[in-house]
Chain A
Amino acid sequence: MQLTLNVNGRMRTLDASPAATLLDVLRDELGLIGTKEGCVEGECGACTVLVDGRPVDSCIFAAHAVGSREVTTIEGVGAVDATPLQQAMVEAGAVQCGFCTPGFVMTLTALLDENPSPDEATIRRSIAGNICRCTGYSQIVDAVLQLSGGDR
């Protein structure tokens, strides 16, 4: 089944089965492997991408349901220069194994677009759908607080 997607500002036309998930298409058809497959059940958030600016679990999002909406993946964020969020995450020690990191970047990018100065509780609520097994989350929260000027 032919599918046309707007991914990171470019139109892509490809063939995808009706059952294909957005994650399948991004990773297997478009080679955008920065988006990670962690659980394929919408629990871990490693596959988070933005659809019209809102974070979704691409592993349980049907590719054909995207329609004309814009898809943004980690490859579309800070492709040339790291964004302030990415830079803050590097400096705060918010990255360990890094497998969950693209998902966190996407979720937090959406948060900061909506609310440039979230407090700690807001930040923690926003990432409650992203699992990080390494960091215990505090340094991820720190990275955002550094940008937002919010209080711990």
Chain B
Amino acid sequence: MTALGAAAPRRDADPKVRGTATYGVDVSLPGMIHGAILRSPVARGRIRRIDTSKAEAMPGVWAVITASDAPSHRTGLKIRDERVFAADLIAYEGEPIAAVAAQSREFARRAVAAIEVDIEEEQPVVDMDLALTDDAPLVHPEWESYEPVGDDFPRGGNVCAEMSSDPGGVEEAFAAADHVIEDEYRSQRQYQAYLEPKGVVAVYAGGRYTVHIAHQYPFRVRDRLAEALGISSSDVRVVGHHIGGGFGAKLDVSLEPYAALLARATGRPVKIVNERSEDLITCQCREDAVFRVRSAVSSDGRILGREIDVLINAGAAGTDGPYLASIAFILAGAPYRVGPTRVRCRSVYTNTAPTGAYRGVSGTHVIFALERHTDHIARTLDIDRREFRLKNLITDGDALLNGQELPDAGIFAKAFDAVEERAPWAERAREPYTGVGIAATVWLTNSQPGSVILKLNEDGGLGVITGATENGSGAVAMGVTQIAAEELRISPDQVVVSMPDTDTSPYDAGSQGSRTTHVVGRAVGKAATELRQKIYEIAATMLEAAVEDLELVDGGVTVKGSPGTKLTLAEIAAQATARGESLAATGTHATPQPKFDPTCASGLLFPTFPTPTYHVHLAEVRVDPVTGNVEVLRYVVAQEVGTVVNPLGVEGQVQGGVAQGLGYALWENLTIGEDGRYRQRNLESYRLPLATDVPRVETIILEHPDEGGPFGAKGVAEPPIVPVAAAIANAVSDAVGAPIDAIPITPQAVLEALGRSGR
């Protein structure tokens, strides 16, 4: 029996399919009351007066709190620019102004509606280019006083963060160019749209806060909540429950400070759950971006040099923006050789809801822009688009723009070949209004630390205690579970992984950047090495054999060469317990930062792509010349994953990631009005992909085991979303005979493009 690579059902599938799995929003505690938040209806303005007296007098109301009842200091992930409540200047629609606790959700919402707020509206700063003009009002007039977390970085005025790199040689490249090709690409915001809205239950007792949530990163909530409340992180306990999807939106603190303050004010457990529209507005969705690029190109099909200028919209708070500003620079060096490349990326403050992490952070719009531009170059040079890519493809040992070498970048060529074998490019008989597009990217496996405690239970089953979170991807319910089973030669259904609890779980950096299977898997490997040794030591005394003569076999330990002398793990564990000896072991892992050139750029806060993976996508589409609708006829993915831990899990990540990418490319659209407010405010106007919209993706998995393990596995979950908009936009541009340089590709955009091309 081997657990690794098996299409084993995930450990949480049975309770989920029967409806017995309890999620964050299902948590209910004795004496619990309900909270709701009054959020700003305007994007920018000054609070002249808040009157809570009517709300406080309403039946069933326990407490009403505002800025005067909460800490006023600012906190943040990289720049401390967020407050619990707006006190004077409002910076975005949805910014919290007050919070209420009441006997029921309905009472709380009615009380929120009864709070009187007098706001003097101001003209919001909405457009990023306008925000950067000299006379633009500042979103944060006091930006200079804001403290960074750790070292400071380039920023100023409405520039929340600036990453820049100028390697030299760019001007020379443009001087030597046969062609200079210039483009501007625009991409929209995307709502993560997890099915479980954000929610929290907070308890205050004995001087400590206990917070129940469904969250990707409980340890960050512990630390960020403590920082917001000005208390020690040991005074916060975060308990994790099943997560109804997150996709990056459940990586930072959100409702927790309000529930905690209300719990303290009332002495009762307080639950807050977002309404869907509130969730959509304040979720910290994927940022909108403007990507400007100029390439110096030779007639023989080489990119001699390039200049890239990117604006990413932070909204009214930095959140992840200072880190995301590095992504364009890293991705610009792959998968094609580009020559000297000047890159500037600015995260821009505007009076719009803060943006943040979403699966494939920034990569979706960066690859959309770069791969559209690649098509433009190939068409200008009259070279076949696939041929051009292959000619310029990087290979083993080539480096990214940060100097990080990619020892295995030759996988790109294998992935292009694999796609070619499945869906040949040249032989395609093209019907009218159909088109084909191809796109490729490198992606990372996030390196941040993870840890586990393994304990062999008295029945021979294995407990895995960890702060790692199962966000739905299967990284814990399949990945960590099957890796642990393989390490101990037991069946996955003998492994129980704990839910996270910051009081008792060892540290974990959350389900982000496809890291859990890889990083926590490696921590499991280290702990298993120690645990096996302890098992052998007990078994050695029981079998009167030397430790080095023992080996682990399915379900027990034998003496090498004499399989008859077998002890089961249950017998060994029971013996250890009776003797008072431990069969527990700890393991922790963080991937070392790959070598890179720290002088390559300034403001490079996300400097490398550790444990890289390689991806090629192909899309075939048909556009309807009457309606402008795009139909995806075929979608092929070649994805490198290191080693497959569970084929059902890998398949699920590819199918689901591509579906989210198709939504981003074609339908999902958060647009912002001149008033700084979202135009789409619920799941009716925000159009998510349905079962009738998305095709079955053809998945080709490439294995190329990572040296460090676990068993060679790398990250899987994020990258399937990254090249989708690029592949689709290239295919649609091909189908309509005119460039599509903005997403989502609406029917109107298709019809306009057909008008331009005359098809």
Task: Please report A residues at the B interface, Cβ cutoff 8 Å.
Answer: 33-41, 43-44, 46, 73-75, 77-79, 82, 86, 89-93, 95-102, 105, 123-125, 127-128, 130-141, 152
Complex Cα distance A43/B690, Å?
Answer: 11
Instruction: Report if B245 contacts A (CB, 8 A).
Output: yes
Q: Give Cα A134–Cα B275 distance, bound, in whole angstroms.
A: 21
User: Quick check: A99 and B23 within 8 Å, CB to CB?
Assistant: yes
Contact A131 B19 (CB under 8 A): no
A91 vs B472: C-alpha distance in the bound complex, in angstroms?
A: 16
**Chain B residue with minimal CB distance to A76?**
B19
Whose C-beta in chain A lies nearest to the C-beta of B470? A97
Per the 8 Å Cβ criterion, residues 228-249 of B in contact with A are 242-245, 247
B682 touching A41 by the CB < 8 A rule?
yes
Q: Using Cβ atoms and an 8 Å threshold, which residues of chain B touch A132?
A: 195, 691
Contact A134 B656 (CB under 8 A): yes
Cβ contact within 8 Å between A133 and B245 = yes
| A95 CB contacts on chain B under 8 angstroms | 10, 12-13, 16-17
Are B16 and A128 neighbours in the complex by a CB distance under 8 Å?
no
A130 to B683, CA, bound (A): 12
Distance to closest chain A CB from B352 (angstroms): 23
In the bound complex, residues from chain A placing their C-beta under 8 Å from that of B690 are 128, 131, 137
Q: In the complex, what residues of A have CB within 8 A of residue B549's CB?
A: none
Contact, CB under 8 Å: A105 / B17: yes
**Residue of A39, A102, A139 with most partner-chain B CB within 10 A:** A39
For residue B14, CB closer than 8 A to chain A, the reply is: yes
A75 x B19 contact (CB < 8 A): yes
* B473 interface contact, C-beta 8 A: yes
Q: Which of A73, A79, A82, A99 contacts B14 (CB 8 A)?
A: A82
Closest Cβ of chain B: how far from A144's Cβ, in Å? 11
B512 at interface, CB cutoff 8 A: no
Q: Which of A36, A39, A125, A135 contacts B276 (CB 8 A)?
A: A39
Q: Which residues of A contact B379 (CB under 8 A)?
A: none
Q: Are A141 and B691 in contact (CB under 8 A)?
A: yes
**Cβ of B19 and Cβ of A136 under 8 Å apart?**
no
In Å, the complex CA distance between A125 and B295 comes to 46
B194 with A139: CB separation less than 8 A: no
List the B residue with the shortest CB-CB distance to A86: B17
* Closest chain B residue to A42, Cβ basis: B684
Is the pair B659, A136 in contact by a Cβ cutoff of 8 Å? yes
* Contact partners of B689 in chain A: CB under 8 A: 136
Contact present for B245 and A34 (CB under 8 Å): no
Partner among A40, A90, A96 whose Cβ is within 8 Å of the Cβ of B652: A96
Interface mask (B1-24 → A, CB under 8 Å = 1, otherwise 0): 000000101101111111111110
Residues of A within 8 A of B7 (CB): 93
B25 interface residue per 8 A CB criterion: yes
| Residues in chain B near residue A79, CB distance under 8 A | 18
* Chain A residues near B195 (CB-CB < 8 A): 36, 38, 44, 46, 97, 99-100, 131-133
Contact in complex: B652, A102 (CB < 8 Å): no
Q: Which residues of A contact B12 (CB under 8 A)?
A: 95, 98
19 contacts between A and B (CB under 8 A): A34-B20, A38-B276, A41-B682, A90-B13, A93-B649, A93-B652, A96-B472, A96-B652, A97-B195, A98-B21, A98-B472, A105-B19, A135-B655, A136-B656, A136-B659, A137-B659, A138-B655, A138-B694, A138-B697
A39-B276, A125-B692 known; A34 and B10 CB under 8 Å? no
Q: Are A98 and B17 interface neighbours, CB within 8 A?
A: yes
CA distance A74 to B436 in the complex (A): 43
Residue in B closest to A100 when the chains form the complex, CB atoms: B195
Are A38's CB and B692's CB within 8 A? no
Is chain A's interface secondary structure helix, strand, loop, or mixed overall? loop
Interface residues of B in 623-671 (CB under 8 A from A): 648-649, 651-652, 655-660
Compute how far the CA of A44 lies from the CA of B659 in the bound complex, rounded to whole angstroms: 16
Report the separation of the CA atoms of residues A34 and B17 in the bound assembly, to the nearest whole angstrom: 10
A46: B residues at CB distance < 8 A: 195
Q: Which residue of B lies closest to A89 (CB)?
A: B17
B216 CB → nearest A CB, Å = 11
Residues A128 and B19 in contact, CB atoms below 8 Å apart: no
A91–B675 Cα distance when bound, in Å, is 49
Are B16 and A43 in touch, CB under 8 angstroms?
A: no
Known: A37-B25, A79-B18, A136-B689. 16 other contacts (CB 8 A): A39-B276, A73-B19, A95-B13, A95-B16, A97-B245, A98-B16, A123-B691, A131-B193, A133-B195, A133-B688, A135-B656, A136-B656, A136-B659, A138-B694, A138-B697, A140-B691
Question: Interface centre among A41, A73, A95, A124, by most B CB within 10 Å?
Answer: A95
Nearest-Cβ distance from residue B229 to partner chain A, whole angstroms: 29
Count chain B CB atoms within 10 A of each CB in A41, A124, A137 and give the residue with the most: A137
Distance to closest chain B CB from A98 (angstroms): 3
Tell me whether B197 is interfacial, beta carbon within 8 Å.
yes
- Given A93-B649, A136-B659, A136-B694, A99:B245 Cβ within 8 A: yes
B residues near A141, Cβ cutoff 8 Å: 691, 696
Q: Is the CB of B26 closer than 8 A to any CB of chain A?
A: yes
Q: Is A98 in contact with B683, judged by CB distance below 8 angstroms?
A: no
User: Cα distance A56–B186 when bound, in Å?
Assistant: 40
List chain B residues, Cβ under 8 A from A35: 19
Q: Which residues of B contact A92 (CB under 8 A)?
A: 648
Closest 10 CB pairs of A and B: A34-B19, A97-B472, A98-B16, A99-B244, A136-B659, A74-B19, A93-B648, A136-B655, A43-B683, A96-B472
**Any chain A CB within 8 A of the CB of B269?**
no
With contacts A36-B195, A134-B472 known, is A128 near B692, CB below 8 A? yes
B196 sits at the interface (CB 8 A): yes
From A39, A74, A90, A133, name the one whose CB has the most chain B CB atoms within 10 angstroms: A133
Which of B14, B195, B688, B690 has the most A CB atoms < 10 Å from its CB?
B195
| A41-B692 CB under 8 A given contacts A36-B196, A90-B14, A139-B652 | no
